[in-house]
Amino acid sequence: MTQPLLSVRNLSTRFRTDRGLVRAVDDVSFDVAPGETLAIVGESGSGKSVTALSILRLIPDPPGKIESGEILFEGKDLLKLDDAGIRAIRGDRIAMIFQEPMSSLNPALTVGLQVGEPINLHRKTVWSKALDKAAELLGKVRIPDGKSRLNSYPHQYSGGMRQRVMIAMALACQPKLIIADEPTTALDVTVQAQILALLKELTREANSAMILITHDLGVVARYADRVAVMYGGRIVETAPARPLYKSPRHPYTRGLMASVPRLDGDTGRPLVPIEGQPPDLASLPAGCAFALRCKDATERCHRERPPLVESARHHFSACWYHERLAA
Amino acid sequence: MATIADPAVTAAAAPRRPRSGLLHFIGRLFREKPLGAVCAVIFVLFLLCGIFADVLAPYGYNQISPLNRLKPPSMKWPFGTDNLGRDMLSRCIYGAQLSVIIGFCAAGIATVISIVLGIVSGYLGGKFDLIVQRFVDAWMSFPDLIILIVVVSVVGPGMVQIICTLGLLLGIAGSRIIRGAVVSVRENMYVHAAQSTGASTFRVLWRHILPNVMAPVIVLFTTRVGTVILAESGLSFLGLGVPPPAPTWGGLLSGSGRTYMLQGPWLALAPGLCLTVVVYATNMFGDALRDLLDPRMRDSR
């Protein structure tokens, strides 16, 4: 593997709440290679978004705090930068696309101002030039007639268009890494596909890497090169997309796949839900976080937490019985 | 392009033309808030009266005419004359000028203080917010008039002193309103999005938060103009306002107005009526603005 673009090492982010310390992200490590798309998958509350926000140090402090770890981006530890340093990275080298296009655009500012802002901010371009560039970017994300739409306000755009605007904002400074936090959750299915295809195409064109955060396994299969599955604030399995689909080596990943309907192949197959509730991050069990919901959990699973080990080439799993699962 | 064009884009966006701001807004004001609209007209008239006092007033405010003392209202002197034969209409018009100057300057200072204090306190939150808000609590627990009297008796009466004191007084109290608005705006996703583009705290505050709290700011300013005029009159009535011969409405009430109330009731009625009408109009206009600018009512149009 070439030198990774982003290398997250032993990241732990915690939140102080009334119910105690919540380990939202616990000892998470992963790499993103230049131009690669890494999908982070998991259910609500598994720590996906907090991981993303931690990379750009956008965790509200208090109550949140990045407790330990390293986030190496192009060789620099983002956690050691001062405020001005991290601001220079945000939006310029690493851009972020948020979940809800309905609420992530400022209702009081025109679209042009918002798309042009990162350019004006990081490239110190005068506004007239930044707006020209903004119009060009709107064309790139296939908003017709970009020039005249610069003066529109977000409420005059539809949901899909707003997410296109968000993508245009993210691409404005040609970042090396784009973090898309569930970019299509609030959109309907046909628009979702368009947005993801567009995102993939534009990142490939710009040779940007992408961290795609989602709970939709269908999205992962189509757009990701590599997948990290998160559960209870930890990565439980990580592998290139194809082997992960073919032979998942963690019972949680297996459960996820069994619970998703498929249109190809075995359409008559019954859907199998994962029984139980996601774990309470404020009081994680001593052993494997998934043990309580795992059909094959043994006494050892409840007692000891399994480490993330390489089960096959580039395929890591945090299950004591990953070899048995492979068979 | 055709394959990927979002059908909802063209359909949903096209018919919604951007509404031309101010004209449309004035139309709404007259349709939905007739009383507010009438009060807005009075407010504007008052403003014009103040600005063009020198042109409008038939006599000078200090032009004495001993032969025409205490004349009741007539065609020549619509508001009558006072004990020195000065035209009350002219004095009231010049009084409006002082009220405009003091009202707008003090309300302006108050609004700026409220914005700065409210936005910083609301956005930063945490301990800073806690300390600032407790200070504001303590400040607001003093009756306004007491602080005013104390300050004026220390620095002496005068227009500049009154403007600064009232500005500070109302500014600190008003910051609470702006802070409340900021706290609710701050949690919006677009604020996080702005931070994620690398905007500095100042830039987020100035470009992303301030435009979203403009509605309460405008309302605050308008109602503050009324409050300031009333407070200034109160001070002048107590002899702590702008010193004579400046014809402030409060001064007119307390000076010749009170002394000659039985011989010439118009001396008290004229400035009293001006004061009542203008303050009432300002407050009702502010109320109407608040209702129209309320984001919860924005979709009901």
Contact B197 A121 (CB under 8 A): yes
Look at residue A325 and tell me if it is in a domain.
Answer: no
- Is B109 a residue whose pLDDT tops 90? yes
Look at residue A84 and tell me if it is in a domain.
Answer: yes
Q: Say which of B12, B13, B189 has its CB closest to residue A98.
A: B189
- Is B265 a residue whose pLDDT tops 70? yes
| CA–CA min distance B197, chain A (Å) | 4
Coil vs helix vs strand at A96:
strand
- Is A102 a residue whose pLDDT tops 80? no
pLDDT of res. B11? 39
- Is A299 a residue whose pLDDT tops 90? no
pLDDT of res. A123? 80
Strand partners, A76: A73
Contact B13 A159 (CB under 8 A): no
Look at residue A60 and tell me if it is in a domain.
Answer: yes
Asked if the C-beta of A121 comes within 8 angstroms of chain B's C-beta atoms, the answer is yes
Contact A95 B196 (CB under 8 A): yes
d(CA A101, CA A95): 15
A44 to A216, A288, B52: CA distances (angstroms): 11, 18, 65
Parallel/antiparallel/unpaired status of strands A226-231 and A37-41: parallel
Asked if the C-beta of A87 comes within 8 angstroms of chain B's C-beta atoms, the answer is yes
- Mean predicted confidence (pLDDT) in B117-140: 89
pLDDT of res. B140? 86
Contact A142 B5 (CB under 8 A): yes
Q: Kindly list the residues from chain A whose CB atom is less than 8 angstroms away from the CB atom of residue B5.
A: 142, 144
B139 to B106, B174, B217: CA distances (angstroms): 18, 11, 21
| CA–CA min distance B123, chain A (Å) | 12
In 3-state terms chain A splits into helix, strand, coil percentages (rounded to 5) of 35, 25, 40
Coil vs helix vs strand at A317:
strand
- Is B29 a residue whose pLDDT tops 60? yes
Contact B13 A156 (CB under 8 A): yes
Closest among B264, B16, B249 to B241, alpha carbons compared: B249
The 10s digit of each residue's pLDDT in B45-67 is: 888 888 887 777 777 777 777 77
Interface contacts (A, B; CB < 8 Å): 105
Asked if the C-beta of A122 comes within 8 angstroms of chain B's C-beta atoms, the answer is yes
Q: Kindly list the residues from chain B whose CB atom is less than 8 angstroms away from the CB atom of residue A191.
A: 6, 8
DSSP letters for B4-52:
T--HHHHHHHTT-PPP-HHHHHHHHHHHH-HHHHHHHHHHHHHHHHHHT
Closest among A15, A40, A11 to A28, alpha carbons compared: A11
Query: Could you give the ipTM of this predicted complex?
Result: 0.79
Domain total of chain A = 1
Look at residue A320 and tell me if it is in a domain.
Answer: no
Band (pLDDT 50/70/90 cuts) for residue B17 is very low
d(CA B164, CA B110): 9
- Mean predicted confidence (pLDDT) in A249-253: 86
- Mean predicted confidence (pLDDT) in B3-10: 43
Give the side-chain half-sphere CA count within 13 A for A270: 3
Look at residue A141 and tell me if it is in a domain.
Answer: no
Look at residue A152 and tell me if it is in a domain.
Answer: no
Asked if the C-beta of A55 comes within 8 angstroms of chain B's C-beta atoms, the answer is no
Look at residue A327 and tell me if it is in a domain.
Answer: no
Burial of residue A270 (number of CB atoms within 10 Å: 0-12, 13-18, 19+): exposed
- Mean predicted confidence (pLDDT) in B105-126: 90
Contact B211 A109 (CB under 8 A): yes
The 10s digit of each residue's pLDDT in A117-150 is: 888 888 888 888 888 888 888 888 888 877 788 8
- Mean predicted confidence (pLDDT) in A267-273: 75
Instruction: Compare all CA atoms of chain B with the CA of A113 and give the residue at the minimum distance.
Output: B207
Of the residues B192, B197, B218, B296, the best mutation for testing chain A's interface (the one with the most A CB atoms within 10 Å of its CB) is: B197
Asked if the C-beta of A189 comes within 8 angstroms of chain B's C-beta atoms, the answer is no
Range of lowest pLDDT (A205-214, A259-268, B37-46, B92-101): A259-268
pLDDT of res. B301? 38
pLDDT of res. B8? 42
CATH architecture for segment(s) B32-62+80-294:
Orthogonal Bundle (1.10)
| CA–CA min distance A78, chain B (Å) | 14
Q: Residue A233 is part of which domain span?
A: 6-105+157-263+271-313
Coil vs helix vs strand at B199:
coil
Contact A107 B190 (CB under 8 A): yes
* CATH number, domain containing residue A163: 3.40.50.300
pLDDT of res. B134? 92
**For chain B, what is the mean pLDDT?**
80
Enter the pTM of the model: 0.77
Band (pLDDT 50/70/90 cuts) for residue B108 is very high
Look at residue A74 and tell me if it is in a domain.
Answer: yes
Band (pLDDT 50/70/90 cuts) for residue A163 is confident
Contact A121 B4 (CB under 8 A): no
Contact B199 A157 (CB under 8 A): no
